[in-house]
Structure 1
Amino acid sequence: MSRSERSPLLLAGLLATAGAAHFARPRTFDAIVPRSLPGSPRAWTYASGVAELALAAGIALPRTRKAAALATAAFFVGVFPANVKMAVDWRHRPAPQKAAAYGRLPVQVPLVLWARGVARGSEGRS
């Protein structure tokens, strides 16, 4: 299997793992839901978990891959405020936790680019 064939499956696996984690350990995700969002943090945690699972399924299927990959890029941009909130909230935690929280911020850029690359790589395929 070539790298271009593995890339969408790896992205789908990342999304599926993250989506499942929202249900396995929701309290972790509840804590980073921005307070400005209406409703309960748990509802947002579950909604984002469902979204990640749906995006994973869409990317795994060649017929829906391009649209799902573009939606994934938008999703990664949309969850950035939660990562900012985590970095702000964790600024006084021990160095390893603080580093993890701050490290999540720049990781969003390659994730967005990866999703866009998967979309580009699926053009003309069905």
Structure 2
Amino acid sequence: MTDSRPRRIARAVLALAYLIAGFAHLRSPGGFIAITPSWVPYPATVVALTGIAEIAGATGLMIPPLRRAAGMGLALYALCVWPANFNHAINDIALGGVHLGRWYHGPRLTLQPILIWWALWASGTIDWPFPRRR
């Protein structure tokens, strides 16, 4: 698989986003705990672990021998936290007293599969939908 300039940029942007999100999970977990579905045990611990997972994934994306594993891990991570996003939307959970509404939740829920694809593509795990260069 080619490591094109667009893929390198996508990888750096994704790593930065996950690094920021990971530290946010650790620094200010309240909002993340609030949107965690009730069936998730030990939500504070889970939120802390997700922050650590995001930081580890972001770091792994930037280390070539770990890149593919990090991409697969972040894709799986994005899939696993999707229920929290649905919980946030369906139950209209206010964060900081603010109800975000469908204009936030609609795009947020719709873009989650793109975030999954992005982790896989940026890590070089997949090339789809771009043809391989030879």
TM-score by length of 1: 0.85
Matches within 5 A, 1:1-126: 2-39=5-42, 41-90=43-92, 97-98=100-101, 99-120=103-124
Distance 1:6 1:55 in 2: 16
Whose relative contact order is higher, 1 or 2, with alpha carbons under 8 Å and at least 6 apart?
Answer: 2
Unpaired stretches in structure 2, ≥5 consecutive residues: 128-134
Let me know the Cα RMSD of the aligned residues: 2.6
Q: Which runs of 4+ in 1 moved over 4 A?
A: 91-96
Distance 1:59 1:112 in 2: 14
What do the CA deviations read for 1:75-107 (whole angstroms, capped 9, x no partner)? 111111000000012179999711223331111
Distance 1:3 1:107 in 2: 19
Query: How many positions carry a matched residue from both structures?
Result: 122
Structure with the higher helix share, 1 or 2: 1
Contact 1:73 1:116 in 2 (8 A): yes
What do the CA deviations read for 1:15-47 (whole angstroms, capped 9, x no partner)? 1011011122211101011110122x2111111
Contact 1:65 1:122 in 2 (8 A): no
Q: Residues 50 and 35 from structure 1, CA distance in 2 versus in 1: closer, same or farther, beyond 3 angstroms?
A: same
Distance 1:61 1:92 in 2: 38
Q: Between the two proteins, what is the percent identity of the paired residues?
A: 29
Unpaired stretches in structure 1, ≥5 consecutive residues: none
Q: Residues 67 and 56 from structure 1, CA distance in 2 versus in 1: closer, same or farther, beyond 3 angstroms?
A: same
